[in-house]
Amino acid sequence: MNEASGHRYPGVAMLLHWLLAIGVFAQWRIAVAAENAPNDEAGSEIMANHFSLGATLLVLVLIRVVWRFVQPNPPLAAHISTWERWLAKITHTLFYVLLIVMPLAGWLAMSKYGNGVDVFGILTLPAMPVEADPEGAREIFHIHAAAGITLLVITAIHILGTLKHTLIDRDGNLFRMLPFGTPKA
């Protein structure tokens, strides 16, 4: 293995990264579609997909966290500045926290309505053992939505950082998370 390829993420981490990225984008679009549905019934049907995908993303991010402990991330290239290292650490930590807390919050809110979460008709996560509280459920969903906006902002920062490294620095940093190209050591 050459030094540059030692800075590339393993295939499992790449796969999980891109599945989570696609899932987050899909979740955003599904939520917008549900909000703009012509009626409550259509919105509920669309949101069922949001709940199912949220449960799936929770499983994927938990696998990613376990994988990260089993297979630590490759080191950042030596030329990355201190502020970029800190920003990367903060954004990645926030990604993990939000991607774990958001689906759990959605599940908790559904539980406060007395409902479990159907996952693509394959299984149903039972309602958590919490007191019925529709007003509390609505509040949790408001917080969940704000967290979603925060996740989108962090995603935009992440993408802007990737574009900076790709187009301005031209350091090949993008190729750390792709199975082709050459990351700079």
Note the pLDDT tens digit of each residue in 19-44: 999 999 999 999 999 999 999 999 99
Q: Locate 178 and state its tokens.
A: 């792709």
Task: Kindly state the average pLDDT of the residues 157-177.
Answer: 93
Distance, CA of 58 to CA of 106 (rounded, Å): 11
pLDDT score recorded for residue 147: 97
Distance, CA of 49 to CA of 118 (rounded, Å): 9
Task: Kindly state the average pLDDT of the residues 96-109.
Answer: 98
User: Could you confirm whether domain 5-177 is CATH 3.10.150.10?
Assistant: no
Write down the domain spans for the chain.
Answer: 5-177
Distance, CA of 11 to CA of 17 (rounded, Å): 10
Task: Kindly state the average pLDDT of the residues 51-67.
Answer: 98
- Cβ count near 106 (within 10 Å): 22
Q: What are the pLDDT digits (tens) for 76-88?
A: 888 899 999 999 9
Host H or E run for residue 125: strand 123-125
Host H or E run for residue 119: strand 117-119
Q: What predicted TM-score, i.e. pTM, was given to this entire model?
A: 0.91
